[in-house]
Amino acid sequence: MSSPRIDLHTHSTASDGTRTPAEVMQDARDARLDVVALTDHDTVAGWVEARANSEGLFFVPGAEISCKTSDGISLHILGLGFDATNAELMQTLALTRDDRLPRMEKMVQNLSDAGYAITMEQVWQQVPEGATLGRPHLADALVAAGTVSTRDEAFSRLLHNDSPFYVGHIAPLPHQAVQMIKAAGGVAVFAHPGASKRGATVERDEIAQMTESGLDALEVDHRDHDPETRERLKALASELGLLCTGASDYHGAGKLNEIGENLTDPMVWEELQRRMQWIQ
Interface contacts to Fe ion, rule CB under 5 A: 64, 76, 191, 249
User: x-or-dash pattern for ligand AMP, window 74-113, by CB under 6 A?
Assistant: ----------------------------------------
Handedness of CA 60, 262, 46, 26 (dihedral sign): negative
- Least separation in angstroms between residue 3's CB and ligand AMP is 28
Distance CA 184, CA 142 (A): 38
Closest to Fe ion by CB, 118 or 225: 225
Site for ligand AMP in 207-226 (CB under 6 A): none
Interaction partner, residue 79 (Fe ion, Zn ion, ligand AMP, none; CB < 5-8 Å by kind): none
Residue 166 · residue 160 · CB < 8 Å: yes
118 versus 252: smaller Cβ distance to Fe ion = 252
Contact present, 202 and 73 (Cβ < 8 Å): yes
| Least distance from Fe ion to the Cβ atom of residue 192, Å | 6
The residue from 8, 14, 21, 41 that contacts ligand AMP (CB under 6 A) is: 41
Query: Does position 16 bind Zn ion by CB under 5 A?
Result: yes
Which among ligand AMP, Zn ion, Fe ion, none contacts residue 225 (Cβ within 5 to 8 A by kind)?
none
Minimum separation from the CB atom of position 11 to Fe ion (A): 6
Residue type at 200?
Answer: A
Question: CB of 10: closest distance to ligand AMP in angstroms?
Answer: 11
Q: Does 19 bind ligand AMP (CB under 6 A)?
A: no
**Residue 7 CA: distances (Å) to CA of 41, 226, 228:** 16, 19, 22
Binding residue for ligand AMP, selected from 9, 68, 97, 151, defined by CB under 6 A = 151
**Residue 151 near which of Fe ion, ligand AMP, Zn ion, none (CB within 5-8 Å, type-dependent):** ligand AMP
Contacts with ligand AMP, residue ranges (CB under 6 A) = 16, 41, 66, 134-136, 151-152, 155, 198, 254-255
